[in-house]
Amino acid sequence: MRFDRFFVMQPEDAARYARHRGFFAPDAALSCREIGDGNINYVFRVRDEATGQAIIIKQAGETARISDAFKITTDRVRIEYEMLRRYNELAPGLSPKVYDYDDVMHCFAMEDLSHLTIMREALIARRRLPHFVEHITTFLVQTLFYTTDIALDPKEKKALVRRYINPDLCEITEDLVYTEPFTDAKRRNDPFPPNRDWIAREIYGDAALRREVAALKWQFMTEAQALIHGDLHTGSIFVDERETKVIDPEFAFFGPIGYDVGNVVANLMFAWAHAEATIEAEMERSDDLHWLEQTIAGVVDRFQAKFLAAWRKDARDPLAHDEAVARDYVSRIVADSAGVAGLELARRIIGLAHVKDITSIADPERRARAERILLRTAKMLIMRRVAHRDGADFVETLKAARAREDASLASTDGE
C-alpha cells in the first residue's frame, strides 16, 4: 500500500510508513503499537527492535476515532505540528521534537517520550515534580507573552491569527467548557449520581453564576490575545522528576492567556482533591496537600514574575514601557485564569469529559465530597475572579471551599 492517498493507518501501516519516510533503515525489524488514549486521534509508537530507538507517528482521521458521525477537520494535525515546532523555538526542551509533517496522510512524526509519564498519572501516584513550576511557567510565558501584540509586530501577529483560526476545536471548548456544564443544553452532562441534585440546585439553578460564565464565554470567543495551547490539562503534559514536555496543542488558536494558565491551575486542584480524599495517614496527606498548594501558588506567582520580566525585556509597543501598564495586563490575566480554572473544575465534574483524579476516588461519599469542594471552589473562582491577585489567593479559595463544604455538612448533620 502506498501513502499518496489518505487512509487511517493500522499499526503495520504505521511501521511501513515510518520506514517509507526514512526514519529507519530499510531492513530494520520494526514493531508498532497504537498507544493513543484520546477520543479523536491515532498515536503509533514505531520501534526498532535491534536498537531500541523509537518514534511516534500521530495521525488524525477525518472523523473522531470514537464516532464516525463526528466529523472534525484534519487541519488540526497541521496546527498541532506547527505549534510543536513553535514550542521548540519559543520554549526549547519543553515539548517533543517534531520531525516530519505529511499533509496527505494527515500525520506527523515526533520524539518518543515513553520514558516519561502523563502528569495526571504521576500526580495520582503521588510523585513530586520538583521542576514543574519552573518548567511550566517558562513554557507559558515563552509561548504566550511572545505571541501577544506587546511583543510581536502587529502585522505579523495578525497573519498568525489568520493562520490559527480553529473553528472545529474551538466549538468543542465553547460547548463542553463554557455552555453545557451550566445549562445541560444538549443533555450531555454526566454528573456523579450522588451529586445530581446538589448540582441542579447549586449550578444549573444559579443565574448569577451563568451570567459570569457568559461574560467569560464571550471573552473566549473574541479575545485574540496570544497563541494559546487551548487544552493544557495534566493529560497534555509528560513529566518525570527532571523533565516536563507539553504535548497535544491541536486546540491552539489566538485566545485569552488565562485559558492556559487557568487549566494548569485547575488540574493541579484535581490532584489536590484526589490527595485530600484518598490519603489516609494525616501527616502524609498534609504533606502532599502542602506540596500541591505550593505548586498551585507557584504556577500563578512564577508566571506573573516571568511575564513581567519578559515584558520589561521585550515589550515593543510604545505604550508598553510603563510598569503600571504591565501590571494591569498581568493582573487581568490572573483574574481570567481564576475564571477559567473555575470553568475547568466545573466541566470536568459536571460535563461530558471527566478526569481520573476524581473518578478514581473509590469511596462514593469521599468522591461526592471532593466534587462538591471543587464545585464550590469553581463558583468562587468564577464569581470573584478579580479578587484573585496572586497564588495564595487561589489556595485560600480552595481551602475556603473545603471549610464551607464541611460547615454545610455539619449543619446538615444537625438537622
Beta carbon of residue 332, minimum distance to a second copy (angstroms, whole number): 8
Q: Which is nearer to a second copy, 76 or 302 (CB)?
A: 76
Beta carbon of residue 147, minimum distance to a second copy (angstroms, whole number): 11
| Distance between CA atoms of residues 62 and 372, nearest Å | 38
Grid coordinates belonging to 194: 450522588
Sheet containing strand 244-246, strands side by side: 117-118, 237-239, 244-246
Q: Which is nearer to a second copy, 23 or 329 (CB)?
A: 329
What does the H/E/C string look like for 70-124?
Answer: EECCCHHHHHHHHHHHHHHHHCCCCCCCEEEEECCCCEEEEECCCCCEEHHHHHH
CB burial of residue 84 (10 Å; 0-12, 13-18, 19+) = buried
Handedness of CA 58, 62, 66, 70 (dihedral sign): positive
Beta carbon of residue 248, minimum distance to a second copy (angstroms, whole number): 21
* C-alpha distance from residue 395 to each of 14, 62, 406 (Å): 45, 42, 17
Grid coordinates belonging to 198: 446538589
Q: Which is nearer to a second copy, 54 or 177 (CB)?
A: 177
Beta carbon of residue 289, minimum distance to a second copy (angstroms, whole number): 34
Q: Which is nearer to a second copy, 85 or 158 (CB)?
A: 158
Q: Which is nearer to a second copy, 155 or 313 (CB)?
A: 155
> Running DSSP on this structure, what letter comes out for residue 234?
G
Beta carbon of residue 174, minimum distance to a second copy (angstroms, whole number): 6
Binding-site ranges for a second copy (CB under 8 A): 149-150, 154-155, 157-159, 161-162, 165-168, 170-171, 174, 178-179, 182-183, 185, 207, 210-211, 213-215, 217-218, 221-225, 254, 317-320, 322, 324-325, 328-329
Beta carbon of residue 209, minimum distance to a second copy (angstroms, whole number): 11
| Distance between CA atoms of residues 129 and 288, nearest Å | 12
Q: Which is nearer to a second copy, 237 or 333 (CB)?
A: 333
Beta carbon of residue 260, minimum distance to a second copy (angstroms, whole number): 15
* Contact predicate 136/237, CB 8 Å: yes
* C-alpha distance from residue 346 to each of 230, 255, 308, 349, 395 (Å): 17, 20, 30, 5, 17
Beta carbon of residue 175, minimum distance to a second copy (angstroms, whole number): 9
Q: Which is nearer to a second copy, 50 or 386 (CB)?
A: 386
Nearest to 74 by CA among 250, 252, 315, 324: 250
Q: Which is nearer to a second copy, 102 or 168 (CB)?
A: 168
